[in-house]
Amino acid sequence: MRCSQSDRTARRRWQVALLGIASLVLAACGSGGGEASGAAVSCGPLAEPQSVRLGVNPGAQDLVTFVMQEQGFAERHNLRLEVSSFQNPAALHAAIGQKAVDVGFGGLTAMATARQQGRGTMIFDVLTSPSNIVVTRNDSDVRTFSDLRGRKLGAFGGRSSATFAITAVVAREKYGIESLERDVDVVEGPDAAVLGLLDEGNIDAALIGTTATVQALLSGRYRVLSDISEDYQSQFGKLPGHVLVATTDDYAQTHCGVLNAFSATLDDTVAFIQQDQGVWADYARQIELTDPRAPQLLQERVAARYIPE
């Protein structure tokens, strides 16, 4: 069977994307700011508790961190988590690059860009694909994502975020918007700000985070223009990697065992989340979602998006 031009183009995009990710990982593993002795740094299980400054922001990683702490998974691997919460991905990405945290949940594009800029960021694990949506008001004259050309879109993570990059691919491949950044007036801000602007009619649509997505769907005030992961999967047949776990070369060279312990903790946590129904009710209470439908919707939106391998 002959492949169409679109099939060949899609395949090339995947090859380029995979090559980029592989190059980044190889660089992260092989290019540090100095030489570290394999004998000096143990990569085995931690013999005694060690503190880790962990950076998170609202979303899938927030739930993971909540369960890690509630269920004691970090302690089982001799980790003491010192959690710092950031309002949006851009602030957390900056903290990782500036070494204000030891480990943080970051977007692929932001971490790759930071590495290119010489900040020594490296990726050592992956968490999830997006659970984000683009919404407009129920009374809006915007009927489809395509209608956003020349109009205003609020974006919670900003133009540099992995969420925005994946949304831009969806906009181009599924909705015919060649450049989301050029063809749409993008207004950056945290979830509460962009939803407030949308409610007031100052923007036409909003790309929002995971928790805000659940809140928006429960409110009944908005129409969904795009479910990012579903639209991406419909075009490419796979879910995109989205939220990753990152650190810096300097930290990795002297804390190999800590990073392995964190990955093991993450594995334990995701496995528990996938199997335990009660975690969603606990998490809904923790983030003050009081609607009785919230736990089920959180599970539907988030659980299927975790990448276990």
pTM value is 0.69
Beta carbons of 256 and 40 less than 8 angstroms apart: no
Does the structural domain 49-128+242-305 have CATH classification 3.40.720.10?
A: no
Dihedral over Cα of 78, 58, 120, 245: its sign: positive
Beta strand spans in 108-242 (E): 121-128, 133-137, 152-155, 185-188, 205-208, 222-227
Query: What is the H or E stretch that residue 174 is in?
Result: helix 162-175
57 vs 120, higher pLDDT:
120
Distance in angstroms (rounded) separating the CA atoms of residues 200 and 121: 39
pLDDT tens, 248-278?
999 999 999 999 999 999 999 999 988 887 8
Instruction: Write the class of the CATH domain 133-236.
Output: alpha beta
pLDDT above 90: residue 144: yes
Measured CA distances, 154 to 91, 164, 181, 244 (Å):
17, 11, 12, 23
**Strand 50-56 relative to strand 222-227, pairing:** unpaired
Beta-carbon contacts of 128 under 8 Å, excluding residues fewer than 6 positions away, are: 60, 61, 242, 243, 302, 305, 306, 307
Distance in angstroms (rounded) separating the CA atoms of residues 118 and 124: 18
pLDDT class for 309, splitting at 50, 70, 90? low
pLDDT above 80: residue 23: no
Intrachain domains 49-128+242-305 and 133-236 with the same fold: yes
Beta-carbon contacts of 206 under 8 Å, excluding residues fewer than 6 positions away, are: 134, 135, 136, 153, 154, 155, 156, 194, 195, 197, 198
Domain boundary assignment for the chain = 49-128+242-305, 133-236
Distance in angstroms (rounded) separating the CA atoms of residues 113 and 234: 27
pLDDT tens, 167-217?
999 999 999 999 999 999 999 999 999 999 999 999 999 999 888 999 999
219 vs 107, higher pLDDT:
219
Distance in angstroms (rounded) separating the CA atoms of residues 23 and 123: 11
Dihedral over Cα of 175, 149, 20, 304: its sign: negative
Both tokens assigned to 42: 């143990």
Both tokens assigned to 6: 């679109």
Beta-carbon contacts of 213 under 8 Å, excluding residues fewer than 6 positions away, are: 131, 132, 133, 301
- Provide mean pLDDT across the span 57-81: 89
